[in-house]
Every structure is written in C-alpha cells, then in structure tokens.
Amino acid sequence: MKVLSLKALTCALLTSISLLNTNLAFAEPKVTSEVVEVQKMVHLNNSTIDDLVTLKGIGHKKAQAILIYREQAGAFKSIQDLTKVKGIGEKVLADNKDRLKI
C-alpha cells in the first residue's frame, strides 16, 4: 500500500483548488431574457374598469357591462356568474379563471 507524504497530499490538494478556481474564474454568467409578467387578481365585486380591462378578452365596453350588471343584479356569488354578463362567455371565463376572485 502506498502512503502519500503530507507534502505530496498538500501539493495535490492545492493543485485541485487552483484548477477549480481557474475554472470558476472563466465561467461565463448565464444571462436570460425571460420576462416574468406578474398579473394581479381581479375581484369581481369591487374591481374598477381599469382592473377589468387587464383581463384577457375584456375591453372597455365589456368592463362597463360587468359594472352595470353588478350594479343591477348585485354582487357576484360565483366566478361562473360572470357569464351572465352579455358578451362574456365560457372562453373569456376560462382564459381568466386563474385571476378572478369574488
């Protein structure tokens, strides 16, 4: 069995550390162009037109229709009630269900 001297072991360890540092020094940082869009929740019973138009498929006219419906029929009892508003169907509801709250 070969026994390494303390001097040889120290030399091997320092060489390994030196190589590791060299590789780290030349490593290029990873740059991504990923954009994370944060979309806030829209509460159907207290949202404004500005809040509603951030939803997919909801423009100014549909946002106004939501407010008028809410004024006339009262508070939404479920997210599904949004489809009771003229011009808003299942597709709009499905496209926005992750952002809607009562």
Cα distance between residue 63 and residue 52, in whole Å: 6
Write down the pLDDT at residue 88: 95
3-state secondary structure of 101: strand
CB-based burial of residue 96 (10 Å sphere; 0-12 exposed, 13-18 middle, 19+ buried)? buried
**pLDDT exceeds 70 at position 61:** yes
**Residues 13-33: tens digit of each pLDDT:** 666 666 565 555 566 677 777
Supply 76's token pair.
């939404």
Counts for the chain of helices (H) and strands (E), in that order: 4, 2
Q: Which residue has the higher pLDDT, 12 or 73?
A: 73
Cα 84 to Cα 27, 53, 76, distances in angstroms: 58, 18, 10
What integer best gives the mean pLDDT of the chain? Answer: 84
For the chain, domains (ranges, CATH) are: 42-101 (1.10.150.280)
Q: Which of 10-24, 27-41, 54-68 is modeled with the greatest confidence? A: 54-68
**pLDDT exceeds 90 at position 34:** no
